[in-house]
Chain A
Amino acid sequence: MKRYEMIVIGAGPAGLSAACAAAEAGMEVVVFDENAKPGGQLFKQIHKFFGSREHQARIRGVKIGENLLADAKKLGAKVVLGATVLGIYKNKEVSVRLEGEVRNYKADSLIIATGAAENMVRFDGWTKPGVMGAGAAQTLMNLHGIRPGKKILMVGSGNVGLVVAFQLLQAGCEVTAIVEAAPRVGGYGVHAAKVARTGVPLYTSHTITRALGADTVTGAVIAEVDGSFAPKPGTEKTLDVDTVCIAVGLSPMSQLADNAGCEMVYDGAKGGYVPVLDEDGETSLKGVYCAGDVCGIEEASTAMIQGKIAAAKAACELGYMSEGAFAQKAKGYRESLKKIRAGMFGPANKGRADIVATDEGYPLSQSLLKNGFIAERETADFPTFTYGGGTRVVIECTQNIPCDPCQDACPKGCIRVGADIALLPTLDASRACTGCGLCVGACSGQAIFLINDTLEDGHGTVGLPYEFLPLPQKGTSGKALDRSGRELCDAVVVDVRNSKAMDKTPMLVMKVPKIELGRARFFKVLEAATSGAEEGSVL
């Protein structure tokens, strides 16, 4: 039986990171993945990641996936696709279905990085064609170039629901509504805000009660829910949709860890049954490790670090790394993990409804939590919304999310986050903003706007991140929308900045009356202007 020093199951962010780290330490590594393409969910993630530079913040998931694969190749870690691991037996023997037969391999160390699967929710008609997981919709769009439908209802407002809703808009679909059963938006406020300002209504304390249609979805009924999530009679609304996307969380795919004989525990906060792990990710079985979502649902950024820690421990156990070198590496990884897990959405605070203020003491925007956008009256609560005149940015970042690309992007040092990357950015008014717009393109939450009131005819400009195609050209007229997506006034595009550094988040500069500078946050092209243009291209 062929023996490998390390077998990794799953070629997603955790598995590939583990494989690279182990191969770099000198181990012979093979990665098995049942899919036809590597990368796990990374190649569907066309949005920019959060975190700090060390977490590859501001880089799109797809690019991170490409980099990991290139590293694996360079370091000599083998990635085998279409390889379904069927079982793990005593002494780390692994049986793999590959090329029409079942083969058996032996591992000295084993890393289970099988990720997670989407949760489903039950309602009348939930098995109809047209009801699908948000992840499935994302696969259709971003891997296969197929629109999942024309008019979409998104169920769930966690980061998956919000990010996929935005990507559906990018693909040219209409997102009719997002419903969320909880009384507040589950995901990052910045993700909700970038969807809301395009005009998508977000209904908190609402759920889907029915998918209509005989053979496929031809509509959906939503209703308000009470405190125990039961629909309130008489609050039903019928929506004209052809697709229902479900984004109600993920469950760890931990069957292989269970099958291997690892001690398991039910942990609702982690998403279900997960293996019991020590601080290095080792299970109750010596030499069997887990990394990524299989240990509990988190972000790809954490999965990558977990993979590296597990691989380093395995390398140390097999003599490829000294105890001292491991201790030093692990310390660095753990500090990095701590940074990315900070903030109000980190595992320690996940699902907490009692957080009412930021770490800085600013009251959280209740409108952002309830409606997905910050109400105008709340903008005074945050110093970075204050516009002092001239050329200045406003940063509409109001929740403690671990992220600092804005700080790195500003060539003049106007924006500061500091060492605790979950803190809100601050603006140094004593430094002159040159109006370059690099921060607008760098902000993974698309929450930075460049304001200029120096035009002389009673107008000013708002520079906003704009990730939609076709990109409006200078002179395009349309409407300026406010944070809720409501039409405010006429607007015309006076500049489009699209440098390589902005990495496909161009800054659209629109001219609006000065009085609207504080609330004009999105540009809607007039319908006539888009006809005949290339439709629905995804960035």
Chain B
Amino acid sequence: MTVIVREKSTDSFAPQAEDDMLVCRCEEVTQGDIRTAVHAGLRTFGEIKRYSRAGMGLCQGQTCQRLVRAVVAAQLKVPAGEIGRVAGRAPVRPVVMKELALSTEESEGVDDYAE
């Protein structure tokens, strides 16, 4: 396994072609935003996510996860599998606060769906 070096780059940030292209469309995070995060010393998906909001939108990273990982992996020159993932946390799907508030411990059995 490659060891990801955890240090902030001392070089100045070098813009690249396609830096203004969206990577996470839910949160409108561009390739440049993600490369900036890496340049600032962030390494894992979890760190990049907290820094840039990539993967925190409606789809919870389902669409952009691979794309973000590819940008970070290319920047760090490590295999994509070493960037990590969007942590699977409840609620894994967006939910209205009111519905969460109506959460009940004493759920009855459920009915079958009707055609």
A residues neighboring B (CB under 8 Å) = 1-2, 30, 34, 38, 73, 78-81, 83-89, 95, 97-98, 100-105, 117, 119-120, 122, 124, 126-127, 251, 253-260, 264, 266-268, 272-273
CB < 8 Å neighbour of A102 from B18, B66, B103, B110: B103
Flag if B93 contacts A2 (CB, 8 Å).
Answer: no
Also in contact, A86 and B113, with CB within 8 A (given A119-B66, A254-B88): no
Flag if B21 contacts A80 (CB, 8 Å).
Answer: no
Taking CB atoms, residues of chain A closer than 8 Å to B100 are 102
Flag if A122 contacts B103 (CB, 8 Å).
Answer: no
Q: Give the Cβ gap from A66 to chain B, nearest Cβ, in Å.
A: 11
Q: What 15 new A-B contacts, CB under 8 Å, besides A2-B110, A78-B111, A103-B110? A: A80-B111, A83-B110, A85-B93, A87-B89, A97-B99, A100-B99, A101-B104, A120-B67, A122-B18, A122-B22, A122-B31, A251-B62, A256-B88, A266-B82, A272-B66
Also in contact, A80 and B112, with CB within 8 A (given A87-B90, A259-B89): yes
State whether the Cβ of B15 lies closer than 8 Å to any Cβ in chain A: no
Taking CB atoms, residues of chain B closer than 8 Å to A88 are 90
Flag if B66 contacts A80 (CB, 8 Å).
Answer: no
State whether the Cβ of B5 lies closer than 8 Å to any Cβ in chain A: no
CB < 8 Å neighbour of A256 from B23, B92, B104: B92
Taking CB atoms, residues of chain A closer than 8 Å to B80 are 266, 268
Flag if B112 contacts A86 (CB, 8 Å).
Answer: no
Within 8 A of A (CB), among B81-102: 81-82, 85-93, 95, 99-100, 102
Flag if A102 contacts B104 (CB, 8 Å).
Answer: yes
CB < 8 Å neighbour of A78 from B87, B92, B103, B110: B110
Q: List 28 A-B contacts (CB under 8 A).
A: A1-B105, A2-B107, A30-B110, A78-B110, A79-B113, A80-B110, A86-B92, A87-B91, A88-B90, A97-B91, A100-B99, A101-B99, A102-B95, A102-B102, A102-B104, A104-B103, A104-B104, A104-B105, A117-B62, A117-B63, A122-B21, A127-B22, A258-B88, A259-B92, A266-B81, A266-B85, A268-B80, A272-B85
Flag if B90 contacts A259 (CB, 8 Å).
Answer: yes
Q: Which of A83, A84, A86, A256 has the most CB of B within 10 A?
A: A86
A123's closest neighbor in chain B, by CB? Answer: B21
B residues neighboring A (CB under 8 Å) = 18, 21-23, 25, 31, 60, 62-67, 80-82, 85-93, 95, 99-100, 102-113
Taking CB atoms, residues of chain B closer than 8 Å to A119 are 66
A114's closest neighbor in chain B, by CB? Answer: B92
Taking CB atoms, residues of chain A closer than 8 Å to B93 are 34, 84-86, 97
Taking CB atoms, residues of chain B closer than 8 Å to A84 are 93, 95
Flag if A80 contacts B102 (CB, 8 Å).
Answer: no
Q: Give the Cβ gap from B113 to chain A, nearest Cβ, in Å.
A: 5
SS of B interface (majority): loop
Q: How far is the CA of A73 from the CA of B113 in the complex (A)?
A: 10
Taking CB atoms, residues of chain B closer than 8 Å to A260 are 88
Also in contact, A95 and B90, with CB within 8 A (given A101-B102, A102-B104, A117-B62): yes
Taking CB atoms, residues of chain A closer than 8 Å to B82 are 266
Q: How far is the CA of A117 from the CA of B62 in the complex (A)?
A: 7
Flag if A78 contacts B88 (CB, 8 Å).
Answer: no
Q: Give the Cβ gap from A31 to chain B, nearest Cβ, in Å.
A: 9
Taking CB atoms, residues of chain A closer than 8 Å to B91 are 86-87, 95, 97
Q: How far is the CA of A51 from the CA of B85 in the complex (A)?
A: 35
Flag if A268 contacts B81 (CB, 8 Å).
Answer: yes
Taking CB atoms, residues of chain B closer than 8 Å to A79 are 112-113
Q: Which of A38, A264, A266, A268 has the most CB of B within 10 A?
A: A266
Taking CB atoms, residues of chain B closer than 8 Å to A38 are 113
Q: Give the Cβ gap from A46 to chain B, nearest Cβ, in Å.
A: 20
CB < 8 Å neighbour of B107 from A103, A126, A268: A103
Q: How far is the CA of A102 from the CA of B92 in the complex (A)?
A: 13
Q: Which of B91, B100, B105 has the most CB of A within 10 A?
A: B91
Also in contact, A258 and B110, with CB within 8 A (given A34-B93, A102-B102): no
Q: How far is the CA of A259 from the CA of B21 in the complex (A)?
A: 31
Q: How far is the CA of A237 from the CA of B67 in the complex (A)?
A: 25
Q: Give the Cβ gap from B90 to chain A, nearest Cβ, in Å.
A: 2
Flag if A101 contacts B103 (CB, 8 Å).
Answer: yes
